[in-house]
Structure 1
């Protein structure tokens, strides 16, 4: 335990020195606060239509302007942040749970379990992700729950591959043999000894997986297979703005900037965590 505490304390010191990562961490925290307080922060009801104020330019009461139905774009961007973050976080929790369970099973039990699970890892890794997600959403139908399930079920392969590699290195350690000699069950060894050593890998995969899920949600919503109108989503807002991209460019710029800033922030903090937590990257 002391060794783990020292490891994480050193990792925290390394992360603090990465000013860009810390800045992006504050951006992510800011986005989370906005998502939670969306009903309080948003100046207008994101779904309320007012055709007399349709396609207004940014300024005045509508800082980001209005869309073709007179809905406030700033309010819809704020609520869209809630959708994107929830999809990214929930889908990665699902993917990480599946990936850890299968990865640790393949690495710890080996033989037939490893062969079967590795086969499925290769299959899921080779299939075009967005195409598979489109097909799954078409089968399951629209809805947030189906979106969580689709992106989570299709995103586990990368995590499973990394966890399998970690467990293959750990399963022959002396403390694992000692636990077996003491009569510890496989479940006890997996949860007590292997999981703590896999936490750095899980943190990195979750942090880098969230922006991928956000982009996938935006892509599916853009194609009409994700979040459905009138629910505010950055991807669906960009899709709706195509007709007005020449006359009302701001309509597509603001949700596009939201996607870019969010995805870049998660990627940079993910890279920072990888540098801080990975001993090889430290050297």
Structure 2
């Protein structure tokens, strides 16, 4: 599935761009001479040029360095939120689908209750309770994103739980958690990869929203959401302070969404082929 997906040139271009974003954001100051929080009031609100390629902000901080640092913060939040998402979602969904009965009804009932509450409302409430901060943001996002993941995993497990290899494992004395680790997890990896590809841009956008309303990353840290929020205050006079962070966020989210669509299409085609073969 993965090899077929990589043959798509658009998907490959998106992967390369995501990789470049990741490398540059991790390298940070190794690639650029300016620190993201280094102020120079004499250079405040300078437009893009040879010295400051993307211009500076109202404190004279290099916007390119700020964006690179912002990508790192946004990707860090998205990565850990997605990790919580797929971990909790897989555990709840697989236990619910594999055990069935009362455990299934209780777990899926809990999922349905959370499903009825607007996710952004939960995120905002959790962020207010936990207080704004990088760690608390990805915890809040992760505790919301897992809900649809659990439903998808439960559906997958209910399809394969009566398969011959599951029955054979039970006959050989394998317990439920052993079956989950050795048989359920490998069969759910395509779903988890697709979920992760969609979860990361969702988390990036959610973090940007929280930062714009003042509940996201706090100064002096700068995520893409913080940079967009700062740029909105003066975008009519200094449009580059808003345009470049928005462009970066758009490209990052678009690349992950294209990757997610490609993985979903490849997985759906494979599943359809298996059903036709059966």
For Structure 1 versus Structure 2, the TM-score category normalised by the shorter chain is over 0.9
Distance in 2 (alpha carbons) for counterparts of 1:12 and 1:147: 31
Map 1:230-269 to 2 at 5 A: 230-269=220-259
The answer to whether residue 33 in structure 2 is matched with residue 43 in structure 1 is yes
Aligned residues of 1:65 and 1:73 also touching (Cα < 8 A): yes
Distance in 2 (alpha carbons) for counterparts of 1:189 and 1:133: 33
Residue 276 (structure 1) shift? 2.1
Distance 1:107 1:31, change over 3 A: same
Map 1:147-158 to 2 at 5 A: 147-158=137-148
Residue matched to 2:96:
106
Residue 124 (structure 1) shift? 2.1
Q: Deviations over 1:124-172 (max 9, x none)?
A: 2222222221111111012211112111111101110110000001111
Aligned residues of 1:46 and 1:79 also touching (Cα < 8 A): yes
Distance in 1 (alpha carbons) for counterparts of 2:117 and 2:76: 25
Residue 280 (structure 1) shift? 4.1
Residue matched to 2:190:
200
Residue 281 (structure 1) shift? 6.2
- TM (norm. structure 1) is 0.93
Number of residues of Structure 1 aligned to a counterpart in Structure 2? 273
The answer to whether residue 111 in structure 2 is matched with residue 129 in structure 1 is no
Unaligned runs of 5+ in 1: 1-10
Map 1:1-283 to 2 at 5 A: 11-278=1-268, 279-280=270-271
Query: Which stretches of structure 1, 4 residues or longer, exceed 3 Å deviation after superposition?
Result: 280-283
Unaligned runs of 5+ in 2: none
SS in 1 for 2:103: helix
RMSD between aligned residues: 1.4
- TM (norm. structure 2) is 0.94
